[in-house]
Amino acid sequence: MILLETTRDKLVNALFSTFILEARIITVADIVEAISNHRPYRAALGVDVAMEIITQERGSKLDADVVDACVALFKHGDFCFE
């Protein structure tokens, strides 16, 4: 079982390293914007929900460093949607 986890981790890291940093940043930013803002088909879910969702996907579907930076921006009040 440990061997499978190590292999999986290597595959995830290899996948993340193939995407340029800008693409990983835009992915997280787009998810946060889409979740936290109003859409014609649903009400805004809010920044807190967006932070929960990207945190859940941190390291599996989303780059961990990018998610950490995004959460830190909102947590410390350095960024907000106007």
What is the residue-averaged pLDDT of the chain? Answer: 84
C-beta separation of 54 from 34 below 8 A = no
By the 10 Å C-beta count (0-12 exposed, 13-18 middle, 19+ buried), 62 is classed as: buried
The pLDDT value given to residue 65: 93
Rounded Cα distance between 79 and 75, Å, is: 9
Kindly report the pTM of this predicted structure: 0.71
Q: Is the pLDDT of residue 59 over 50?
A: yes
